[in-house]
Amino acid sequence: MVKLRLQRTGSKNDPHYRIVAADSRSPRDGRFIDLIGHFHPTLGGTNQVTVNEEKAIDWVKKGAQPTSTVKALLKKQGILDKITPQAG
């Protein structure tokens, strides 16, 4: 199963994350299939998350399951709303 999840990079006390599509059996910082975006939680303001919207939508449509954190990030960016519009 393919999951959209965070891969930690950066140094101690200064985390940076990549948002990647990876096999659920591979380790957290191991091999991944596709790089979708970046997340820098230590930055202030709106520059914390950068996501390639087309790739994210494509992977979710193919059946990739986002983790809870990635799902929250995609929802905050408004990407999940484009995939599953709410009725009413």
What's the confidence (pLDDT) of residue 47?
Answer: 74
What's the confidence (pLDDT) of residue 29?
Answer: 82
73 neighbors 49 (Cβ within 8 angstroms): yes
Q: What is the CATH number of domain 2-83?
A: 3.30.1320.10
What's the confidence (pLDDT) of residue 87?
Answer: 47
Spans of the chain, pLDDT less than 50: 87-88
d(CA 42, CA 22): 24
Burial 8-28 (b: 16+ CB within 10 A, else e): eeeeeeeebbbbbbbeeeeee
What's the confidence (pLDDT) of residue 88?
Answer: 46
